[in-house]
Amino acid sequence: MMKKERIEIDYTAYASAEELHEADRELFGKAVEAVNGSYAPYSHFHVGAAVLLADGHVVCGANQENAASPSGLCAERTALFYAHANYPGIPVRAIAIAARKEGSQAFSPAYPCGACRQVLAESQKRAGADIRIIVGDRDRILVFGSVDALLPFIFDSASMD
Ligand code: THU
């Protein structure tokens, strides 16, 4: 029997970084700083990401573009892969993302792209616990309590059981 179903996504919206809980505010601040490490001569869109690990380490990344565009990588995956490569076995607890268009002082929201969501899903699986995602600009910051909110109907290792 056909049945219409729906999914609801839970997230919390904050009107500014100042409203965030201290840990989220600090991580978002690190993502803002990480924007400086962006190499984006093609899109001129500079993105920074800060990953909080379960042992307290914070690993930052920024998007790295390439003349052969598919060879570049988003800020989120740069940070996540660095974290997994350098702190193997330490679960990821949270990621904050900030972005700025070149020549602009204002920040733009940079929601993770599909490929980054998939990588986040793998990080969450490896962690065995939800990963918080903090993303937004100066006026509106959204906090998602789990990657599940950003990527429903996930394909992960369990899909192949
Ligand atoms: N980008 C990121 O690094 N993260 C996002 O969440 C969205 C997009 C980068 C990829 C590319 O270097 C530039 O932003 C424009 O798409």
**Binding-site residues, ligand 1, Cβ < 6 A:** 40, 43, 45, 47, 63, 65, 72, 74-76, 97, 110, 112-113, 116
Kindly give the distance from the C-alpha atom of residue 75 to the centroid of ligand 1, in angstroms, as a whole number: 7
Q: What is the mean predicted confidence (pLDDT) over 151-157?
A: 93
- Residue % of the chain over a pLDDT of 70: 100
d(CA 76, CA 97) in angstroms, rounded, equals 7
**Average confidence (pLDDT) over 111-132:** 98
Question: What is residue 62's predicted lDDT score, i.e. its pLDDT?
Answer: 98
The rounded distance, in Å, linking the Cα atoms of 104 and 4 is 44
Confidence of residue 138 (pLDDT cuts 50, 70, 90): confident
pLDDT tens profile 78-103: 999 999 999 999 999 999 999 999 99
What would the mean pLDDT of 37-63 be, rounded to a whole number?
98
pLDDT for position 110: 96
Structure tokens at 38: 């962006």
